[in-house]
Structure 1
Amino acid sequence: MDRLQVAIQKARKKRESRQQETLTLSEEQRFIPTDSSHEAWLTLPEIEFSQKSFPHSRLMSYGGGPEATPYDMLRTKMLQQILTNGWRRVALTSPHSGCGKSTTAANLAFSLGRQDDLFTIVIDFDMRRIGLAQILKQSGRHSMADVILGDVPFEEHALRHGKNVIFGLNHTSARNPAEILQSRKTIEFLEQIEEQYKPDIVLFDTPPLLASDDSHGFLRNVDCALLLAAAEETSIDHIDVAERQLAELTSVMGIVLTKCRYISGAFGNEDGYYY
C-alpha cells in the first residue's frame, strides 16, 4: 500500500507540473501536434462502423450537422475549461447506470474528432460492462483490463477513428475492476500512453459512483470529471450525493442532464431530439 501511495503521489505531482507548463502556453500553441509525436497514431488499425445503426444507438455527432449541436456545445464548453485550467484527463461518470455515459463519451469522441488539430484518446474504464464497444458495434476478445495487466499491448488492442481519435474498448468484462483501477499498473499505463501518443485529451468512461467502488480509487488520477444525470430518472438526492463524492476525488467540471427532449426548434431543429 505504501508503494501504491508513493506512485499515486508521483503521478499527481507530474500531472500538476504538466498543468503549470500548459498554463504558460498560448491558446494557439496548446493543441498544435507534431508529426513525430503522432506517427504512432497512424500505425493503429482503423475502426470500422456500420453507420446504419448509429441513429438507433443515438450517435448523433458522427457526421456533424444540426443533430450534433448539443454535443458540439458540450465539447466547446469542455474545451474552454480544459484550456483555462490546463487539464488533460477528463472522466465521465454518473450516480447510477443508464445515465448515458457511454453514449455521451462516443458522441464527444466524434465531435472532438471533427477538430483536426485535437488528438483525443477515449478509454472505457467501466470494466464490468462492454458498454462503449456495444454502442459502437465493435467485437473482440480483450478488454482494457487485459491491457493494463500486460496481457495485450495497447497498440494491438486500440482502434483509431480518422487521424486523431483512439478508442480503448472492453469486449469482455473484468473480474476485479476495482483492484485493477486502483493499482499502480493503471497509473503506469496512463503515463505510458501519454508519453507514446501525446494526446491533447484523454476521455474516460468510468463506472457509476453509487454502484461500486470501481471509480473511487481511479478518479484521483484524472484532472476533472463530468457528472451525468438522466432526466426523470436520477433524483436530486442521487445527484447531491454523487457530486459530493466526486468533489472529494477530483475537480467537478459540471453536471450534464441527458435523455431530455427538446421541442419546437431547439438548436434550430424543428423535429426535436434527445440529449
Structure 2
Amino acid sequence: MDRLQQAIQKARKERDSRHPQPAVPREDQHPVPEDSPRDEDFWLTLPEISIEPRLISRNRLMSYSGGPDATSYDMLRTKMLQQIISNGWRRVALTSPYSGCGKSTAAANLAFSLGRQEDLRTIVIDFDMRRRGLAEILKQSGSHSMADVIKGKVPFHEHALRHGNNVIFGLNYTSTRNPAEILQSRKTIEFLEWLEAEYKPDIILFDTPPLMASDDSQGFLRNVDCALLLAAADETSIDHIDVAERQLAELTNVMGIVLNKCRYISGTFGYEYGSYY
C-alpha cells in the first residue's frame, strides 16, 4: 500500500505541473466567501453527512464501516486507483445500460471505500438528475439538486455534504425536468473546472444516467476521463452489455465492466459480491 500511496503522490505532482493554473470562472459563477480557506480546512467547513445505522446493518452500505463486508468494494477501489494513477485520470463516471443495475449503490459504497484512503480526496456527484438516486440510498433530505448548483441558484458549499475529512457528496433532493440540456451545457463544464480549481480533488466520481434510458449521458460523458459500466447479474443481457460498452467506448475510456448483484458462496466470501472485469 505504501507503493500505491507513493504512486498517488507522484501522479498528483505530475498532474499539477501539467495544469499549474486551473481555469477559474467569472465572479458571478459559484462564488466562494473571501474568508474561506483554500486547503484541507476548506473541506472541513462543509456540513457532515449523517448515516442512519439501519442502512449499514441492512448491508446496503457494506463499505461504510470497512471490514470483511467491504472487501468487494475495496478490491474495486484498488483496481480503479491503479488505472487512474497509470493514466493520469481524475474524472470517473459510473453508468449502466438500464436502471436497476445498482450503480448508485456502487457509487455510495465506493465513496466510503475511497474515504478510507486518507491521502485521497474524493468528490461524488450525482448527475442522474431525473431521480433522487444517491440521496435516497443515503437517506438524505434537502431542497435543491445539482442542477440548481450548476445554474447558480445555490452555492455548492451550501449544498454539499462531507463524509470524514476527504469525501464530499453532491446530491439531488429533487428531480430535474431537462437534465440532458443541463449536462451538455457550457455551465456544467465551467462548474467542473471551478470545482477542481477550488477543492482540488484527486478523484471526482460521477453517478451518471443509464445509457439506453435517455440521452442525458451522451453529451456529458465526453467530459470525463473514463467510465465503469455496471450490469446486473441474471438481469442485464449480454447483448445489452455489448451495445452499452460500444456506446460508452465512443464517448470515453471504458475502465471496465462490473457485474453487480452476483451471489455466490465460497470459503472467503459469503455475501453479495460484485465481480470486476
Match of 1:160 in 2: 162
Match of 1:30 in 2: 11
Q: Percent identity between the aligned chains?
A: 76
Q: What is the SS of the residue equivalent to 2:69?
A: helix
Unaligned runs of 5+ in 1: 1-24
Q: 1:101 aligns with which of 100, 103, 117?
A: 103
Match of 2:272 in 1: 273
Match of 1:250 in 2: 252
Q: Post-superposition shift, 1:29?
A: 3.2
Distance 1:125 1:68 in 2: 25
Distance 1:248 1:196 in 2: 30
In the superposition, the TM-score normalised over structure 1's length comes to 0.86
Match of 2:23 in 1: none
Between 1:45-54 and 1:93-102, the stretch displaced more is 45-54
Q: Post-superposition shift, 1:36?
A: 4.8
Distance 2:97 2:272 in 1: 24
Q: Which has the higher helix share?
A: 1
Say whether the 8 Å CA contact 1:38–1:198 is kept in structure 2.
no
In the superposition, the TM-score normalised over structure 2's length comes to 0.86
Match of 2:151 in 1: 149
Per-residue displacement from partner, 1:175-197 (whole Å, max 9, x unpaired)? 10000000000000000010000
Distance 1:57 1:204 in 2: 22
Match of 1:16 in 2: none
Match of 2:226 in 1: 224
Equivalences for 1:1-275 in 2 at 5 Å? 27-30=8-11, 36-56=38-58, 58-265=60-267, 268-269=268-269, 271-275=270-274
Calculate the aligned-residue CA RMSD, in Å.
1.5
Q: Post-superposition shift, 1:262?
A: 2.3
Q: What is the SS of the residue equivalent to 2:128?
A: coil
Q: What is the SS of the residue equivalent to 2:93?
A: strand
Q: Post-superposition shift, 1:57?
A: 5.8
Q: Which amino acid aligns with 1:185?
A: K
Per-residue displacement from partner, 1:237-267 (whole Å, max 9, x unpaired)? 10111011100000000000000002022xx
Per-residue displacement from partner, 1:141-198 (whole Å, max 9, x unpaired)? 1000000011010000000000000000000000100000000000000000100000
Unaligned runs of 5+ in 2: 1-5, 14-36
Distance 1:274 1:84 in 2: 26
Per-residue displacement from partner, 1:189-231 (whole Å, max 9, x unpaired)? 0000100000000000000000000000000000000000000
Q: Which amino acid aligns with 1:118?
A: L
Distance 1:173 1:30 in 2: 37
Q: Post-superposition shift, 1:27?
A: 4.1
Q: Post-superposition shift, 1:95?
A: 0.2
Q: What is the SS of the residue equivalent to 2:39?
A: helix
Say whether the 8 Å CA contact 1:40–1:196 is kept in structure 2.
no
Q: Which amino acid aligns with 2:66?
A: G
Distance 2:211 2:68 in 1: 32
Distance 1:118 1:274 in 2: 25
Say whether the 8 Å CA contact 1:94–1:229 is kept in structure 2.
yes
Distance 1:128 1:216, change over 3 A: same
Distance 2:142 2:127 in 1: 16
Q: Post-superposition shift, 1:30?
A: 3.5
Q: Post-superposition shift, 1:40?
A: 1.4
Tell me which stretches of 4 or more aligned residues in structure 1 moved more than 6 Å.
Answer: none
